[in-house]
Structure 1
Amino acid sequence: MSRVLIIGAGGVAAVTIKKCARLPEHFDEIYLASRTVSKCEALQAEVGADRVKAVYAVDADNAEEVEALINKVKPDLLINLALPYQDLPIMDACLATGTDYLDTANYEPKDEAKFEYSWQWAYQDKFKDKGIMALLGSGFDPGVTNVYTAYAAKHYFDEIHYLDIVDCNGGDHGQAFATNFNPEINIREITQRGRFWEDGQWKETDPLSVREDLDYQNIGVRASYLMFHEELESIVKHFPSLKRARFWMTFGDAYLNHLKVLEGIGMTSIEPIDFQGQKIVPLEFLKAVLPNPGSLAEGYTGMTCIGTYITGVKDGKEKTIFIYNNCDHAACFEEVGAQAVSYTTGVPAMIGAALMLNGTWKGAGVWNMEQFDPDPFMDMLNQHGLPWDVLECEQSPFKR
């Protein structure tokens, strides 16, 4: 019998919970916790008390509180779908209780817009000595894109040299300005300097200053901007033959214009300011007035295209492939009441958890997705709503 504890009750968590609830062969008992217990209760009512056995209120910033909850539930696996700020307290609680751990995004300090794996990789020896496993970044990007890379390296190349991860949301939610996942995390991420790997070192660019107009399958040409994304950090570590690795994301002009204005007047700042005798963080206030990403799902049209261009050598000849998925917003809403950005993160979290629970992916220590055999994960993507295709390209759309 397998028992999972899921912390978080936002848009991604809702997808993961609904997907887990449909698979009793992998998830016998599901327990759910969040700071706002009413969200947990709503999800429990939706999937049934026979699948979500109990719900709890928990402050995931407090490792001792999470530890007490783990001791009460006694899960085989904790799925962390809370905020990136809370990764370390939850990992500490898992370490104290000897519980396996999975998340979808790497740690980020609350008071500094900086995300990297160093803090979580530092748990390697502790988790290994305890005989427990942590699987980092089991979302789409990071997550599926890491597995795409491992799959390509296993089946298509003798050596991979150039990697470009591309993330396009070609959908329309009808809002003047809204983010497709947590606004605070989203805006912190895209306003940072770009960073990419080339010739054995990290190189930086000004935020959103490098643009390519790329043609996305079943969407068309979209302006794509170079950013830093955490999967680059682990992929270049585990595939040392890479000469260059980059990440690109699409943004429309209206979105960028709104963002520029908000940044210009200080609304994206994470530095507290005095307001009527209280300290407030402008970005947290902005998050409160922007649409909840979960509310965008109904009426959302169009689709996403997320994938990985890889150029390398096979049998002495250079070749390029593109592995990708298209995900339709309306189809996601019809299936689980979510938009595609939540769906593309929530489904891989379920798959990673299933592979850990059934022992397909297993090992003490802290692991990134590309370190395991990609084939079982790729098979489950096809089975559970995120089918993928491989295109063999005459050449990469990117210049050397």
Structure 2
Amino acid sequence: MHSVVIIGAGGVGSVVAHKCCQLPELFDDIVLASRTESKCKRIAEQLDKPVRTAQVDADSASQLVSLLQREQPELVINAALPYHDLNIMDACLKAGVHYLDTANYEPRETACFEYHWQWDYHQRFVDAGLTALLGSGFDPGATNVFTAYIAKHYFDEIQQLDIIDVNGGNHGYPFATNFNPEINIREVSAKCRHWENGEFVTTPPLSMRAHYTCPEDVGTYPIYRMYHEELESLSKHFPSLQRAQFWMSFSDAYLQHLEVLSNVGMTGIEPIDYQGQSIVPIQFLAQLLPDPAALGPHTQGKTCIGCLVRGVKDGKKRLIHIYNICDHQACFREVQSQAISYATGVPAMIGAKLVLEGQWRQPGVWNVEQHDPDPFMADMNRYGLPWKVTELDPEFQLDTEEHQATNAVH
């Protein structure tokens, strides 16, 4: 039996709580904590087993340490915003608790999400005998494990990687984001970086487009190249990669709204003075947009997220596609959430399970692809994210074209 504290009561935190409750034989004692405890209580009312709730401000190191010292969990599952990662890691070190998150640290004052801040904690976690597992969501997370699994079982050497994230769902709103609006818009509007020939190449945001046909009749969608954090860790841990890119689908309406909001200054991250108050435009915008956690009842359609991996096996070129398809409404029926939160929350539970069971427990700070992918992949099939592997013609290429970049650049 094991105890965990889940920090964060948004869409992902809700899914993590639901999925942990489905394994009562492992997750014996669960505390759901957030800045607003009433959100935790509303989630707890939906769950199949009793879950305790607590109030904690993740911006406050002292509150985090007090919570962990009081509850004495074995593991913290960080489903809060990336701004809080280092605070929570510090608290875990002080309280002697293992750590897991779904997205890497990002400072509030700069739209720059990189792993080096967290990797710098490695020796501290080694010395404390504690495990910190980074990026155990879907992308990053499952896509990293997909890459490790394919490299282990299908190739002698992987050379090219395209991570493709398609959301074919429709929530019915003119403009909304499927996860935290502030983080989503900061990611999308940042300059693009992709890995090529041993270095990162910087290009304008969303300046490369392709049209991608998903398997299993999910549909054909425009996808845009952008930077995503798993490229940083995968290019480091798979040095044979000659090129690694991340692609995400966006509708024309989403991009048009984003450009207009940028042009009028609503995506800015620098504080402005309004009637004597300091306001960050993007944070104000986030308050006006639909809550991602409330999109579940309205979202129809499917997601298709996976990896195209190229390389060599027995001296021959090979192209493997590994992917998962999620149905938004099926996810909502199970855990009262749309598929984006579901696809992030399930891998968080799986990563926690593997740490608690000891399979992925090793002192230090680790990305998920540094561990044996096989138990994670088996649990994805077992707990709601079934995946498939297909072999494609190695001559297949994405049909790419240059695209006029959005003006929404930070």
TM over 0.5: yes
Is the deviation greater in 216-225 or in 82-91? 216-225
1:95 aligned to which of 93, 96, 99: 93
Q: Match of 2:175? A: 177
Q: Match of 1:397? A: 397
Is the deviation greater in 159-168 or in 390-399? 390-399
Distance, in Å, in 2 between the alignment partners of 1:156 and 1:385 is: 24
3-state secondary structure, aligned to 2:193: strand
Q: Match of 2:405? A: none
Q: Match of 1:215? A: 213
Q: 2:373 matched to 1:374?
A: yes
CA offsets 1:94-127 (integer angstroms, 9 cap, x no match)? 0111110000000000111110000000000000
Q: 2:64 matched to 1:42?
A: no
Q: Match of 1:27? A: 27
Q: CA deviation at 1:397?
A: 2.7
Identity, % of aligned positions: 59
Q: CA deviation at 1:387?
A: 0.3
Does the 8 Å contact 1:214/1:397 carry over to 2?
no
Distance, in Å, in 1 between the alignment partners of 2:267 and 2:24 is: 43
2:72 aligned to which of 66, 71, 74: 74
Q: 2:335 matched to 1:352?
A: no
Q: Which runs of 4+ in 1 moved over 6 A?
A: none
Q: How does 1:2-17 map to 2 (within 5 A)?
A: 2-17=2-17
2:121 aligned to which of 100, 120, 123: 123
Distance, in Å, in 2 between the alignment partners of 1:258 and 1:198 is: 31
Aligned residue type for 2:290: P
Aligned residue type for 1:128: V
Q: CA deviation at 1:175?
A: 0.5
3-state secondary structure, aligned to 1:397: coil
Q: CA deviation at 1:64?
A: 1.6
Q: Match of 1:167? A: 165
Aligned residue type for 1:336: V
Q: Match of 1:325? A: 324
Aligned residue type for 2:244: A
Does the 8 Å contact 2:210/2:399 carry over to 1?
no
Aligned residue type for 1:370: E
Aligned-residue RMSD, C-alpha: 1.0
Distance, in Å, in 2 between the alignment partners of 1:88 and 1:182 is: 19
Q: Match of 2:154? A: 156
Q: Taking structure 2 as the reference length, what is the TM-score of the superposition?
A: 0.96
Does the 8 Å contact 2:270/2:281 carry over to 1?
yes
Q: Match of 1:274? A: 273
Aligned residue type for 2:84: Q
CA offsets 1:180-226 (integer angstroms, 9 cap, x no match)? 00000000000000000000011011011111111112222211100
Q: Match of 1:190? A: 188
Q: Match of 1:310? A: 309
Does the 8 Å contact 1:297/1:337 carry over to 2?
yes
Does the 8 Å contact 1:137/1:368 carry over to 2?
yes
Aligned residue type for 1:257: Q
Q: How does 1:209-288 map to 2 (within 5 A)?
A: 209-217=207-215, 218-288=217-287
Q: Match of 2:406? A: none
Aligned residue type for 1:32: L
Q: 2:177 matched to 1:202?
A: no
Q: CA deviation at 1:398?
A: 3.0
Aligned residue type for 1:164: D
Does the 8 Å contact 2:312/2:318 carry over to 1?
yes
Q: How many pairs are equivalent?
A: 398
Q: Taking structure 1 as the reference length, what is the TM-score of the superposition?
A: 0.98
CA offsets 1:254-279 (integer angstroms, 9 cap, x no match)? 11001010000000001111111101
Aligned residue type for 1:130: A
Q: CA deviation at 1:51?
A: 3.0
Is the deviation greater in 178-187 or in 387-396? 387-396
Q: CA deviation at 1:399?
A: 7.1
Distance, in Å, in 1 between the alignment partners of 2:156 and 2:25 is: 37
Where does the alignment leave 5 or more consecutive residues of structure 2 unmatched?
Answer: 401-410
Distance, in Å, in 1 between the alignment partners of 2:241 and 2:221 is: 26
Does the 8 Å contact 1:143/1:369 carry over to 2?
yes
